[in-house]
Amino acid sequence: MATNYLITILGPTAIGKTALSIELAKAFNTDIISCDSRQFYKEMTIGTAVPDTNELAAAKHHFIQDRSIFDNYNVGEFERDALTKLNELFKLNKVQIMVGGSGLYVDAVLKGLDYFPEVDIKIREQLTKELAEKGIEPLQQKLKELDIETYNTIAIENPHRLMRALEVCIGSSLPYSTFKNKPKKERNFIPIKIGLKADRAIIYDRINKRVDLMMDAGLLEEAKKLYEHKNLNALQTVGYRELFSYFDGSFTKEFAISEIKKNTRRFAKRQLTWFKKDDQITWFDYKTPPTKIISEIMKKINN
């Protein structure tokens, strides 16, 4: 039976997961695995709310800005890399911490995802080119023709999910859906899931304030440096897309900022919907003292 424990901090964006994860890492004298799918990239700092210098110094973090936006990196590769790192860390401490708001990436580590065949990178490059030149609708239509089941079940307005399904369909000559729901590999740890919550109005207010702080910290300048690479998958991200539209002349600066806030609120709503399906999460108000949360975690470990 597994004696390793992976404490996972969940919740919507801007709720305070980073601060709590650092308190837990100090309490358990352990590292932090980040599974925020946009904080992987070293060129994206302000717009992804990467932990600041003091936070990074307070606890050792893994998978923070450890690759470039020019690297192709997907959830399957993250699952493999995170499990490898956890196996190393569990040899040092049977309790480890994971934090992040990317539900798919959390599930990849905790439960495992379906495995898909390797696909020629040229297929992704061609799909990216088609998206840039013709927009998303032709790609949606292509998926509908190749795999109606996936078309009806994934978020087809999400270009990343859409292209991932399409590249598997094209590269394997089989529907993406045929690779799903296969037996998963056993995990060598017991997950302890901790969720942070607040009234929706509080979450939305925190998001609005965070966006204003990001703009003050130089998000506009950061996005400007990345503008020439705007079609890269890593940059199909709230906070950058809207500013790219401002640089294109499609949005005013004020409207772009309001769209960042609106789209971040929508993202938080999707996060909440995803996590609420999981009855194994123990929820705490975002203002709960870390000592109380640590006490509850200790009860689970010593049970």
Q: What is the pTM of this model?
A: 0.80
Pick from 298, 98, 286: nearest CA to 195: 286
Q: Where in the chain are all domains bearing CATH 3.40.50.300?
A: 4-113+184-302
> One digit per residue, pLDDT tens: the chain, 303 residues?
458 999 999 999 999 999 999 999 999 999 999 999 899 999 999 999 999 999 999 999 999 999 999 998 888 899 999 999 999 999 999 999 999 878 889 999 999 877 777 888 889 899 999 998 999 999 999 999 999 999 998 888 888 889 999 999 999 888 998 888 766 778 999 999 999 999 999 999 999 999 999 999 999 999 999 999 998 989 989 999 999 999 999 999 999 999 999 999 999 998 998 888 899 999 999 999 999 999 999 999 987
Q: Is 117 annotated as a binding residue?
A: no
pLDDT, position 274: 86
288 known member of a binding site: no
- Please check if 282 is assigned to a binding site: no
Kindly report the CATH number that applies to the domain delimited by 4-113+184-302. 3.40.50.300
27 is in an annotated binding site: no
262: annotated binding-site residue? no
Query: Where are the domain boundaries for CATH 1.10.20.140 in the chain?
Result: 121-179
Task: Look up the CATH number of domain 121-179.
Answer: 1.10.20.140
Instruction: Tell me if 14 is assigned to a ligand binding site.
Output: yes
Instruction: Tell whether 12 is in a known binding site.
Output: yes
Q: What is the pLDDT of residue 1?
A: 45
112 is in an annotated binding site: no
32-34 β-sheet, strand order: 61-62, 32-34, 95-99, 4-10, 189-197, 281-285
pLDDT of residue 146: 95
What are 156's two structure tokens?
């087809």
